[in-house]
């Protein structure tokens, strides 16, 4: 068995696009295909994204033919523990990869995801803006008791995934404190689950986002984002920045069309702005850069005891 891939990173966060050799998921919409992927072909996800072929921070992107023929491509995002409705950094990485493949040119492209259609604009071979899915704040100032830290307050918001956003992190957002920040956010996520706190319609809050001030000139804030598999996001997180924009809009702290510059824990930067859809939802625009890092074949060799992933 041989699977072809192209790897990139967006602000330091890796994306692996599977371009050939993926499982046959049929021709229905992307949401239905993701369900088939999860129920019938999950071994493929584990094999291509987990060690020894991948690692915990990597996000996979299965390139699919779109069901909606107005789209240039379809994509299903996944990671080391499951599936993502949408992935901002991954979409930027996918756009750069499609350009490298000659599938798209500079300008606007449409991508079908399990949670809706996303538009991307390729400004250059590496610079991309995406118009994400409609985003909104579900609940404001939710308190949860976190073991070892006491009460922590945050907003619950949707940006393509469910987030718990904590302003004024009680721990310094310092790249030297990544282990401590990871442990803190894991505790928050466990506390939310234990308290029965979810997103709308019981959506699992699988991303935790901490905020603090940035020391970079012209940058509005710094974040630390815990991803579902327990790794931290090296980029400022596209869906997390979208959730942030929705909260800023609700609080009247950012007007439509104004730019919010978001720094990640390692210093990479996204620019975000939004259009107002209605009284509760915004349409985010996220701009960032991605760079190709490798391409090749993933191999399944007979007799390998770990060919299915670790």
CA atoms within 13 A of residue 101's CA, in its CB half-sphere: 21
Q: What's the CA angle centered on 172, arms 170 and 175, to 5 degrees?
A: 140
Among 64, 71, 227, 237, the active-site one is: 237
Instruction: Reply yes or no on whether 237 is catalytic.
Output: yes
Note the residue count of the chain. Answer: 310
CA distance 288 to 133: 17
14: helix, coil or strand?
strand
- Given a contact cutoff of 8 angstroms between Cβ atoms, the answer to whether 247 and 220 are in contact is no
Instruction: Reply yes or no on whether 247 is catalytic.
Output: no
- Token couple for 229: 């598999």
Sequence-separated (6 or more) residues with CB below 8 Å from residue 267: 175, 216
Among 71, 87, 227, 247, the active-site one is: 87
301: helix, coil or strand?
coil
Active site (catalytic) residues: 87, 237
């Amino acid at each position: 068995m041989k699977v072809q891939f192209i790897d990139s990173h967006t602000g330091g966060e890796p994306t692996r696009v599977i371009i050939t050799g993926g499982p046959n998921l049929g021709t229905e919409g992307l949401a239905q295909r993701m369900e088939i992927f999860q129920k019938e072909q999950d071994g493929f996800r584990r094999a291509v994204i987990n060690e020894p072929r991948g690692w915990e921070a990597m996000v996979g992107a299965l390139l699919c033919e779109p069901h909606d023929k107005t789209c240039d491509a379809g994509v299903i995002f996944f990671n080391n523990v499951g599936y993502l409705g949408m992935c901002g950094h991954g979409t930027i990485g996918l756009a750069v990869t499609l350009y490298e493949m000659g599938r798209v040119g500079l300008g606007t492209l449409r991508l079908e995801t399990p949670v809706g259609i996303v538009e991307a604009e390729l400004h250059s071979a590496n610079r991309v803006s995406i118009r994400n899915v409609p985003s909104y704040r579900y609940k404001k100032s939710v308190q949860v008791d976190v073991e070892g830290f006491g009460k922590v307050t945050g907003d619950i918001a949707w940006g393509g995934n469910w987030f718990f956003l904590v302003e004024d992190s009680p721990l310094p957002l310092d790249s030297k404190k990544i282990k401590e920040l990871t442990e803190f956010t894991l505790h928050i996520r466990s506390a939310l689950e234990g308290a029965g706190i979810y997103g709308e319609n019981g959506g699992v809050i699988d991303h935790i986002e901490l905020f603090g001030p940035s020391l970079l000139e012209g940058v509005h804030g710094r974040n630390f984002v815990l991803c579902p598999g327990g790794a931290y996001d090296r980029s400022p997180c596209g869906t997390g920045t979208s959730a942030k924009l929705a909260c800023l809009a609700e609080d009247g702290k950012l007007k439509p069309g104004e730019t919010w510059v978001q720094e990640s824990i390692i210093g990479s930067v996204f620019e975000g702005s939004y259009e107002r859809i209605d009284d509760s939802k915004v349409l985010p625009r996220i701009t960032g850069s991605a760079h190709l890092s490798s391409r090749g074949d993933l191999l399944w060799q007979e007799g390998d005891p770990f060919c299915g992933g670790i």
